[in-house]
Structure 1
Amino acid sequence: MKRKYTKSALLLVDIQNEYFYKGKMELDGSYEVASIAKKMLADFRKKRKTVIHIQHIASHKNASLFVSGTYGAQIYEEVMPIEGETIITKDNTNSFSGTELFDYLNTKQIEHLTIVGMMNDMSNDPTVRTAKDLGFRVEVVGNEYAV
């Protein structure tokens, strides 16, 4: 029997301190993205839908950005995960590449992804393209701000 509804998840991609004041790569529009993400996060939490935080952690030892354990690598306070929310770490631009994201989404029977994140051209774009190639319905929110 086919389900009458689609299970959705919110993907918050790379909303980390590195992109804000006191980070090593402050971006124009980062606060606008964080504001949009905070609103989407509140909505998904209220509806008790799946929330996934994608956190970039550099894997090479000479990295200058997103170094594990540093202030810059931490998830931005306005969208900090709460108990029960999943954090998936990645070390490249695509949230699916080398991570457990695809398996996790399949386990949860997620069919629709709402994506809010930083660096559209670097992180959101490959994640969105891969999600579509894998058969997910995808909605990108705040695209005009995610620089």
Structure 2
Amino acid sequence: MPTLARALLVIDMQEGLFNGAFHGNPAPFDGQRVLANITGLIAKARQARAPVFAARHVGPPGSPIEPGSPLTQLLPALAIDADVDSVFDKRRPNCFTGTDLAQRLARANVGEIVIVGMKTEYCVDSTCRAAGDLGFKALLVEDAHTTMDTPVLSAASIIEHHNRTLSGPFVKLVRTADCSFEC
């Protein structure tokens, strides 16, 4: 049986979330560093010829994040190419719910998913938790996901908590510098 591939999954790195335009969200914690880490991981994935998947969170027609709206556009710095990369819309926090992501990964012979993006406590968390249930090994890049401060917790605390909570039962933690796309 052939070795299963490792793919990169970029979650919700889109204009409306990252640049604070949706519901007046503040900018994400350490956003420029996280964006640089993600673009570096995209470059590593491309160099290794690993598949890149990019999720966009969308809402219903008429909402500020309706499909195709400016707020759902992926950040240009990512240089995601819809002709080469697998771009898909989702309506739920979990990237697998209501999408064909699992089928796309299976068609690409992917067994391991490197997860990055935002927001840590919503879409990153729920996708990490679901991946194993669907038969995928998940690697969470601990310095390549982010969120915003809340009235209860700082973004730094949310990220630290999720890295610790998810590590072991749901994901293997890796750092950007140590992440490769060789299985």
TM-score range, shorter chain: 0.7 to 0.9
If the length of structure 2 is used for normalisation, what is the TM-score? 0.71
Give the aligned partner of residue 76 of structure 2: 77
Deviation at 1:145, TM superposition (A): 4.8
Q: Which amino acid aligns with 1:127?
A: T
Give the aligned partner of residue 53 of structure 1: 54
Deviation at 1:22, TM superposition (A): 5.9
Partner deviation per Cα, 1:54-98 (whole Å, 9 max, x = no partner): 11111253x34x233332211011113123111011011110000
Give the aligned partner of residue 43 of structure 2: 42
| Aligned-residue RMSD, C-alpha | 1.8
Structure 1 residues 145 and 104: alpha-carbon distance in aligned structure 2, compared to 1, 3 A threshold:
closer
| More helix per residue | 2
Q: Which amino acid aligns with 2:76?
A: E
Deviation at 1:146, TM superposition (A): 1.3
Partner deviation per Cα, 1:12-58 (whole Å, 9 max, x = no partner): 00000113336233322322221111000000011111000111111
User: What CA distance in whole angstroms lies between the structure 1 residues aligned with 2:19 and 2:114?
Assistant: 26
Partner deviation per Cα, 1:76-132 (whole Å, 9 max, x = no partner): 111131231110110111100000101111111210000111111100111111101
Q: Which runs of 5+ in 2 are unaligned?
A: 148-183
Give the aligned partner of residue 67 of structure 2: 68
CA contact (8 A) 1:118 1:124 kept: yes
User: What CA distance in whole angstroms lies between the structure 2 residues aligned with 1:48 and 1:144?
Assistant: 20
Q: Quote the sequence identity (%).
A: 24
If the length of structure 1 is used for normalisation, what is the TM-score? 0.87
Which residue of 11, 14, 20 maps to 1:13?
Answer: 11
Give the aligned partner of residue 27 of structure 1: 28
